[in-house]
Structure 1
Amino acid sequence: MTQSVKKILDHVLARFAGQITRLEVHLSDENSASKSGMTDKRCLLEARLAGREPVSVSDLALTVEQAVTGTAHKMVSLLGRELGKLGKR
């Protein structure tokens, strides 16, 4: 699973590889008695950029791979906005 997650993140976040100094991935299964439905795989992604506060995004999906992919795309959007403000795309 680790290799699959790394492959997804490397591919989707490749555009920002030179600016991300650290990337943390937290995966969890949100199943509980109080929650119904099948969308229960959660991915929380935190990126640290040189000289900036960390930013994070999360996503829920049916599978871990879908949650990681969804979160990675959210991170691309967030980093595009954040770095675009600084003129560092």
Structure 2
Amino acid sequence: MQIQVFADRNVGGGAIAQDATDTIAAVLDRFADHLTRVEAHITDVNGHKGGSEDKKCTLEARPKGQPPVATTHRAATVEDAYTGAADSMAHLLDSKFGRLHHAKGGESIRHLVAD
């Protein structure tokens, strides 16, 4: 799984990109075999003006053989923005891959032996 981080000039530079890469890799590590690439776009919505929840991270993941999926998270700090986006992506991928691997008609509670 390749992780690319793009940050606008109002957010910062290399240090933020490396921290974001490390955090996203840690959160999405269990999906590494299913993903080819993850792109993070980190922006400061208001630029130099400031404001609450003006940092935004859009995360796009590309599952193998499937269309890309994306999540967005807005927060007061850059760290909260990319961590929130990564957590949202993990939840989305849990749902997506869970549905792919659990076919209808599986085990039913009706077949359990009563104690």
Q: TM-score, normalised by structure 2?
A: 0.70
2:31 aligns with one of 16, 23, 30: 16
Partner of 1:25: 40
Residue by residue over 1:42-63, the C-alpha shift from the partner in whole angstroms, topping out at 9 and shown as x without a partner, is 0000000111000000000011
Task: Within 5 Å, give how 1:2-81 maps onto structure 2.
Answer: 2-31=17-46, 37-81=51-95
Counterpart residue type for residue 5 of structure 1? A
Moved over 4 A (4+): none
Q: Which has the higher contact order (CA 8 A, sep 6+)?
A: 1
Query: Residues of 2 paired with 1:24 and 1:9: CA distance?
Result: 10
Offset of residue 31 of structure 1: 1.1
- How many residue pairs end up in the alignment? 85
Residue by residue over 1:28-86, the C-alpha shift from the partner in whole angstroms, topping out at 9 and shown as x without a partner, is 11117xxx941100000000011100000000001111000000000000000011111
RMSD (Å) for aligned C-alpha atoms: 1.5
Query: Residues of 2 paired with 1:66 and 1:18: CA distance?
Result: 26
Query: Residues of 1 paired with 2:80 and 2:59: CA distance?
Result: 13
Q: Which runs of 5+ in 2 are unaligned?
A: 1-15, 103-115
- Identity value in percent: 42
